[in-house]
Structure 1
Amino acid sequence: MHKFTFFVLFSIAASVIPASAQFPMGGAATPKALPGTAGDQSPKGNSKISGTVVDSASAKAVEFASIALYNKKTGQAVDGTVADEKGKFSLTKVLDGEYRLLFSFIGYGNKTVDNITLTKGQDLDLGVIKLAANVKQLEEVTVTGQAALIEEKVDRLVYNAEKDIAAKGGDATDILRKVPLLTVDLDGNVSLRGSQNIRVLINNKPSTIIASSVADALKQIPADQIKTVEVITSPSAKYDAEGSGGIINIITKKNSLQGLNLNVDAGVGNRGSMLSLNGGYRKGKAGFTIGGFGRGSYNTITKTNLEQTSIANGIATRTSQAGDGDSRGLFGQYNIGFDYDLAKNQSITAGVRYGVRNMISEQDLVTKLYTNDVNTSTSSRFVDARNLSGTVDVNLDYLRTFKPQQEWSISTLYSRNDLNNNFDANLMNGGGELTSRQRNLNKNINQEFTFQTDYQTPIKKNQLLEFGAKGIFREVNSDFKFLTAGRTGDFITETDQPSGALTYNQNIAAGYSSYTYTTKSRYTFKGGLRYEHTFIDASTETGTVGVGNYGVLVPSVNASKTIKGTTLKLGYNRRIQRPGLAQLNPNFNSANPQNITIGNPELRPELTNNFELGVSKNIKKTYINATFFGRATNNAISQVRQPSDTLAGAIVTTFENVGKQHAYGANIFANVAATSKISVGLFSNVFYSIMKGQAIGEGGLSEEISNSGWNVSGGVFSQATFKNGWGAQAFGFLQGSQVQLQGMQGGFGFYTVGVKKDFKNKKGSIGIAAENFLSKRFNIHTELNSSQFNQVNDIYLYNRGVRATFTYKIGKMTMDAPKRKAKGVNNDDVKSEGGGQQQSGGTPGGSQPR
């Protein structure tokens, strides 16, 4: 509790107190000139004073507490020090005389030890010094005992995932479902305030694995390795311009410990199992980390019912389709890291991370076609789809710190994703006899290199200037083929279906400047300007794709003020959203021939203006946050559906820059500390969306379409801690229907409960969690329509599950004082499958989240 309060107070102080006026970690009581500094001219003696500083309630060490030594006669500070990680302190070379000691630390009341008399050569051990918590100060900053779950900072909301016990053994999707402001559907697609145009980072760094599919990437990140999730709704100019909805930064657990350690985590359940090994070794200036995580999913059953009618060439065809599906997969992530302190104010960080995803889905489809209500054909189709990928990220970063808040960094990143998204289909007639076969081969290579440099410096006592430059060199290659074969024999290329290759080179040059000003009355203003120029060279086998170069100027303004415990925040920013691989790739995906998807390599970016007003306040034991926002997007990338001219009853979906999307709404979150050990959280997301676009009408002519409506979602979560290491947590979420340009997508629900028991030595724990155990299945009911088609789709998900978890820590570590490490690259510029994005990270003011 006290550590958390310290970090909250220290973060607030760092954001409003100029660098030249900030005190060391111990607080204001530290003398201005300590021995060994340029200003210290105190004569030396040969006496010594030592002792240990502890919390009066828990008896735990108070790390980095400040100790100041005052001359009792003159009242002047003559010496001082800071306690180590065990609370121990020592003042040496002290002259004989009479003194008093002042002990202080943020979150604790000051304590004075008087009547200290030293004789020449005396070694005085004061023993244990107990500091009591400053209760009034705690209540002004945080909800007592529970605020560590949710933190609100100037530009972001932070969810402390390490407090979550129910998600242990799961993946990042289980964590993000519980983060206020976010919505995660049952397929793992993430949206922020109703927008899937977001950036997702891992430890402030992007990855090409995110660019291909956010939903699949999240399955590779173990839930129990996530420390915090940061939701940034109004990014400053320091962040990449990409991501109209905002930024999600997932911070995994790190340590700055001395020694050797190894953490073992395991879980087994009826729908998935996992094993994770993470270790580290640190000696002096160097540190090494190594980790591996593997997760298998199985028993994932899906049933679908599709009824649709399409009109092509003046003929109406009705499709009735039923499907039974099953999927299984293996997900892994392996990493090795190294950091080294070149000097007291210089460090380098390097790392390699490899991720693998092997997802296999099988589905039986029975399709019946009707013309004028007469059954014209019945067929069945067995589809074996394989989504296989391997991703490698290599980074090397350098950080030079000159003085508090003045620093310069260089960051580099190479990332490559090899993705194969293929399927094989066996086609059978109504009697179940094999008639033909189909195969779609879709191989993609997405690689990029990023170079970035940033500099920040304080100006006077209440201003901060930041500027930097960045270059991204990206190349996407896609080779796709559609093959057919008879009942036997070799596959041959199908000339009637598109096959070929896409080469997409995208280079981005960017520069930014940001300025922060804090007034004497504690108003904080932050404004910035960023310019990004995108160079595109794209081609297919038929020639150059008509996408030109473009530049965009992105302004951002943020302001905040705290008045009598109420914090007000106002923000505006402009964002750009570039199309992603899934939307650009012209591969003809006909795994379900009645619903075909094909990308458009000529897509242009979309631009969004965002406005928000936030209010937050602590009312006794309740923390309330309400944010009102508006979002306007022009040239929006929208799905365009139309009947197929060649396949009876089929609907073809592609992407076009034909939409306008406006949204206005509010996010409300409340956390209630019922007792010091029990908390309950409530959150709701409500917004009204207006969509306009184009579709294919009668006679093949384009027609204007529009749709609007309310989107509502909300949830509740609670957690409790008990004696003897027991803890429990519960979570429930309900998503209402979502407005689409051509209809409505049905809602869904999700809930989970978990119990955990820590071992007495705190080195391990066991737990059990269950999800959706009261319902057999969920039904997502979607209705889409236009003048040329009508579609009703029901997807039934069978996701009842239970899992047991186990964790154990091996090795003994000692805490090393936290040090700033070199920053990493933050890429924010590709729209990914399902709209999910990767985002830039870093904290305004220059401090990276840890």
Structure 2
Amino acid sequence: MKNLKLVVTFMLLCAGLVSWAQEAPGSKVKVSGTVVDKDTKQPLEYATVTINSTTNPKGIYGGMTESNGGFSFDVPTGSYTIKIDFISFKSQEYPAREITANTNLGTIPLGIDAQQLDAVEVTAEKSTVEFKLDKKIYNVGQDMMVKGGTVSDVLDNVPSVTVDAEGNVSLRGNGSVKILIDGKPSGMIGINVADALRMLPADSVDKVEIITNPSARYDAEGGGGIINIILKKGKAQGLNGTVTASTGNPETYGITGNINYRSKHFNLFTTQGYNYRKNPGNSMTNTEYLMNTNPNERFLEERRKNERQSQGYNGTIGAEIFLDKTTSWTNTLSYRKSDGSNPDNVNLNYFDASRNNTRYVNRFNDQNNDSKNLEYSTNFIKKFKKDGHQLSVDASFSRNDDHDDSTISTTDNDYVAATTTLGSQRTGNAQTQNRNLIQADYVLPIGEQSRFEAGYRGNFSKLTTDYSVEALQDGIWVNDPLYTNTLEYKEKVNALYTQFGSKVNKFSYLLGLRWEDSNIDINQLTTNAFKNKKYNNFFPSAFVSYELNDSSNLTLSYSKRISRPRSRSINPFSNISSTANQFIGNPDLNPSYTNSFDLGYMMKWDQVTLNSSMYFNHTKDAEQYVRTQETISGNPVLVTKPVNVGYEDRFGFEFNVGYNPYKWWKLNSNFNFYRNETRGDYSYTNLENETFTQNFNNTAYSWFTRVSSKVTLPYKIDWQTNATYNGAEKNAQGRSKGIISANMALSKDVLKDKATIALNASDLFNSRKRKMETNLPTQNSYSEMQWRQRQITLSFTYRFNKPKTEREKQTRKETDSNGGEDYMGG
């Protein structure tokens, strides 16, 4: 019955569009209002508003509500019956209403219709990807590819986002990305972003927002943009939830449950999960030394195998209390614990110019690690009488402890000298991070089409890294001062922002200004080297849009961004698993500043949605990775470290296309092409103690594309596949080769649609490997790295008291504390 109502309403709306041209023109007035859930006061997006003339049968107007629940339609003056419908809610009707001037119906509350909720059937499925004017929203719930996976797997399926073989996240090919949890920096991300994303279960994520040009209300951090991960929080009435269990090969087990109980006065929610994973990986590097004084070591072949194993627990519990109809207070406590091991076996074979094997070195690194994170967050929201007028206050406090210990045994066979040397080392790496966040946001609507915002954010963090290396000498562990160090990093950032937005007919704009004051201490306690960096900056932003017609929009945006060095990039003491290839940080690294411009066009047809953009980023003091050959403990080592090099100009264009050729077939594609130009020089001392200047002037072209297909097969089996290609890219010291990979999944609803079985394969052809060529005056090298081999996962999801109704799939505007910021639409 409810589906029939929707069909009839849709036909009436179509009839109204046809009659538009037939009706004699007259004086037009505006009918507006806001539709909300009567119990939760949350706005209802996609509610149907039908305006029927009581005198002209063909006078039918209306449409759907926006994400903030608002609607506004122009109608000729006259007498009308106004009706508001939303699936699973009781309709609201205003019969025979005289409309002679602009009329605002105010806030229209709809109550739940229990009978309809019980009888409703699934008639449509919300698209996996939604395109907004200022962001893209990826809905995780329906993606079979990530069932039983991690947040890293989720991001690897998001348009415009790529995750490389080491877990590093890029947006439009730019690795300078800020990752938020529920709109805020979070201790849940931990110290090592890539590792933390692999530990968080995919089933705890509701959706991911991609914000390529953030407004002033967001942190200015992240030259490439912001990725906002929104976690699940139950919104439906009563007790309901889902439980997902999974298993796979390589050996993987996991179980995650999301449960919530909601009443008129409070909402209790929790996510609990456990996982165990094995992630075997491998790498290889072939090096030719061009200036090596040892003729017996002209070539080097390095082969590495990893057998990573981890198990972890992830738990969140929270309560949202409705103090009254306009005030809510939410408290959340999260705890994450993981431990694992990573036996790392490295084999090095040296050859002379005739390719004779002259030396063999084996280094076995028996690595163990554990990590704990505890975070408490609180959110207070006060809504005032005028719709959209509210004050929100947030605070979060977190502590993250990471411990990594290794014992390294070395066997060195010199075939020329006929000697064998044995050695042992052990390392300890203890990292502790404390992060405190306080913020307040105030929103004031002005009239019906304008909005003023202002706020404050204070972000205070302290990271201590205690790294030690010891060598076994005559049965005694002796400290190695070349690597041992304690690094203390303190960051205090205070920010104020304000922005104003308005809509005039088809033209909308949002102008903002953010001020951030940064106070950073970098203290190397072992060497007594202390540095303090203080700077403050203004970060303007502007966003304008124009509605060309009912189905297309043109947007132009600008923002200034900053990228502060991460802790790994400034710590000068490296991991020593390999004696031939090492990464070290640079404590002299400065922040990079980016001016970002974006021109976007969005067009909707009956079966196709196109979201395209052309962008340009100009970055000053761009962070680049330089590779130099240095002598460490008497051995030539290829050292990689970050440096500030001149500037970087990135220009590109992107297309996102959604196409539904049939009801049973959905296609989504993402294509990104960019040109990256760097200008600058870097000087260093080579093995001959000569100063060498590396010119970083380089122009590179690269592209990225992903195609995803979802097909409904007979017997209601869903089949989803995607293929990704990352194009080759040249840099000043070499090039990276192209990478192609594919994923596939099958799923079927069972137990009267209360449960779902899914089978997915990640990296189906085992082809996801990072391939790099490096060309220096001192050496040439080629390397391949595969962090994780092909993964096959079988999962089972059960939903209790939570039918797959269309109401569950309606988009709800998140509160500001969850990072939701829909652009002004009146």
Same fold (TM over 0.5): yes
2:531 is paired with a residue whose SS is coil
Report the Cα distance in structure 2 between the residues aligned to 1:651 and 1:793, rounded to whole angstroms: 12
The answer to whether structure 1 residue 282 and structure 2 residue 258 are counterparts is no
Query: Where does residue 121 of structure 1 map in the other structure?
Result: none
1:644 is paired with a residue whose SS is strand
Report the Cα offset of residue 786 of structure 1: 2.2
2:272 is paired with a residue whose SS is strand
Report the Cα offset of residue 256 of structure 1: 1.9
Q: Give the letter aligned to residue 593 of structure 1.
A: T
528-537 or 651-660, larger mean C-alpha shift: 651-660
The answer to whether structure 1 residue 198 and structure 2 residue 177 are counterparts is yes
Report the Cα distance in structure 2 between the residues aligned to 1:594 and 1:243, rounded to whole angstroms: 32
8 A contact 1:737–1:744 mirrored in 2 = yes
The answer to whether structure 1 residue 269 and structure 2 residue 240 are counterparts is no
Query: Where does residue 703 of structure 1 map in the other structure?
Result: 694
1:235 is paired with a residue whose SS is coil
Aligned partner (choices 708, 722, 726) of residue 735 of structure 1: 726
8 A contact 1:464–1:845 mirrored in 2 = no
Query: Where does residue 84 of structure 1 map in the other structure?
Result: 111
8 A contact 2:460–2:493 mirrored in 1 = yes
The answer to whether structure 1 residue 530 and structure 2 residue 523 are counterparts is no
Aligned partner (choices 806, 817, 820) of residue 824 of structure 1: 817
Q: 1:601 to 1:772 in 2, by over 3 A?
A: closer
Query: Where does residue 137 of structure 1 map in the other structure?
Result: none
Q: Give the letter aligned to residue 464 of structure 1.
A: R
Aligned partner (choices 203, 211, 224) of residue 232 of structure 1: 211
Report the Cα offset of residue 170 of structure 1: 1.5
Q: 1:261 to 1:619 in 2, by over 3 A?
A: closer
Aligned runs of 1:617-766 on 2, under 5 Å? 617-646=603-632, 647-693=634-680, 694-696=682-684, 699-722=690-713, 725-766=716-757
Aligned partner (choices 249, 272, 295) of residue 292 of structure 1: 272
Report the Cα offset of residue 163 of structure 1: 2.1
The answer to whether structure 1 residue 454 and structure 2 residue 441 are counterparts is yes
Query: Where does residue 24 of structure 1 map in the other structure?
Result: 35
8 A contact 2:512–2:540 mirrored in 1 = yes
204-213 or 177-186, larger mean C-alpha shift: 204-213
Aligned runs of 1:404-443 on 2, under 5 Å? 404-430=387-413, 435-443=422-430
* Structure 2 gap ranges (5+): 14-28, 37-46, 53-82
Q: 1:85 to 1:724 in 2, by over 3 A?
A: farther
Q: 1:388 to 1:19 in 2, by over 3 A?
A: farther
Report the Cα distance in structure 2 between the residues aligned to 1:634 and 1:671, rounded to whole angstroms: 36
8 A contact 1:70–1:78 mirrored in 2 = no
Deviations 1:287-334 (A, max 9, x none): 222221122222524242432426478998542222233222223311
8 A contact 1:176–1:182 mirrored in 2 = yes
Query: Where does residue 361 of structure 2 map in the other structure?
Result: 379
Report the Cα distance in structure 2 between the residues aligned to 1:776 and 1:558, rounded to whole angstroms: 42
1:218 is paired with a residue whose SS is helix
Deviations 1:142-172 (A, max 9, x none): xx96772221112101122222123212222
Report the Cα offset of residue 798 of structure 1: 6.5
Query: Where does residue 518 of structure 1 map in the other structure?
Result: 503
Query: Where does residue 492 of structure 2 map in the other structure?
Result: 507
Report the Cα distance in structure 2 between the residues aligned to 1:145 and 1:557, rounded to whole angstroms: 36
8 A contact 2:364–2:408 mirrored in 1 = yes
Report the Cα distance in structure 2 between the residues aligned to 1:77 and 1:710, rounded to whole angstroms: 53
Report the Cα offset of residue 231 of structure 1: 0.5
Report the Cα offset of residue 617 of structure 1: 1.0
Aligned partner (choices 542, 546, 566) of residue 557 of structure 1: 542
669-678 or 310-319, larger mean C-alpha shift: 310-319
8 A contact 2:602–2:609 mirrored in 1 = yes
358-367 or 227-236, larger mean C-alpha shift: 358-367
Report the Cα offset of residue 80 of structure 1: 12
1:169 is paired with a residue whose SS is coil
Aligned runs of 1:328-339 on 2, under 5 Å? 328-339=309-320
Report the Cα offset of residue 88 of structure 1: 6.8
Q: Give the letter aligned to residue 322 of structure 1.
A: R
Q: 1:601 to 1:334 in 2, by over 3 A?
A: same
Aligned partner (choices 799, 813, 821) of residue 809 of structure 1: 799
Q: 1:756 to 1:413 in 2, by over 3 A?
A: same
8 A contact 1:54–1:87 mirrored in 2 = no
* Structure 1 gap ranges (5+): 10-17, 32-51, 56-60, 90-127, 134-143, 826-840
Query: Where does residue 389 of structure 1 map in the other structure?
Result: 371
Q: 1:801 to 1:223 in 2, by over 3 A?
A: same
8 A contact 1:19–1:458 mirrored in 2 = no
8 A contact 1:19–1:405 mirrored in 2 = no
8 A contact 1:642–1:695 mirrored in 2 = no
Q: 1:3 to 1:310 in 2, by over 3 A?
A: farther
Report the Cα offset of residue 577 of structure 1: 0.5
8 A contact 2:84–2:92 mirrored in 1 = no
8 A contact 2:519–2:532 mirrored in 1 = no
Question: Percent same amino acid among aligned pairs?
Answer: 25
Deviations 1:83-106 (A, max 9, x none): 5322679xxxxxxxxxxxxxxxxx
8 A contact 2:347–2:363 mirrored in 1 = yes
Report the Cα distance in structure 2 between the residues aligned to 1:376 and 1:728, rounded to whole angstroms: 54
Deviations 1:536-583 (A, max 9, x none): 233222334334201111111111112132211111111000111111
Q: 1:269 to 1:586 in 2, by over 3 A?
A: same
Report the Cα distance in structure 2 between the residues aligned to 1:612 and 1:308, rounded to whole angstroms: 43
Q: 1:375 to 1:648 in 2, by over 3 A?
A: farther
Structure with the bigger RCO (C-alpha within 8 Å, sep 6+) is: 1
Q: Give the letter aligned to residue 721 of structure 2.
A: A
Report the Cα offset of residue 355 of structure 1: 1.9
Report the Cα offset of residue 772 of structure 1: 3.8
8 A contact 1:442–1:587 mirrored in 2 = no
Report the Cα distance in structure 2 between the residues aligned to 1:277 and 1:546, rounded to whole angstroms: 46
Q: Give the letter aligned to residue 177 of structure 2.
A: I
Aligned partner (choices 545, 552, 558) of residue 566 of structure 1: 552
The answer to whether structure 1 residue 155 and structure 2 residue 134 are counterparts is yes
Deviations 1:796-830 (A, max 9, x none): 567233221111123579999999886538xxxxx
22-31 or 337-346, larger mean C-alpha shift: 22-31
1:645 is paired with a residue whose SS is strand
If the length of structure 1 is used for normalisation, what is the TM-score? 0.80
2:631 is paired with a residue whose SS is coil
Report the Cα distance in structure 2 between the residues aligned to 1:3 and 1:740, rounded to whole angstroms: 56
Deviations 1:233-264 (A, max 9, x none): 11011111100001111222322233323422
8 A contact 1:572–1:611 mirrored in 2 = yes
Aligned partner (choices 598, 601, 624) of residue 612 of structure 1: 598
Query: Where does residue 539 of structure 1 map in the other structure?
Result: 523
Length, aligned pairs only: 742
8 A contact 1:53–1:62 mirrored in 2 = no
Q: 1:234 to 1:777 in 2, by over 3 A?
A: closer
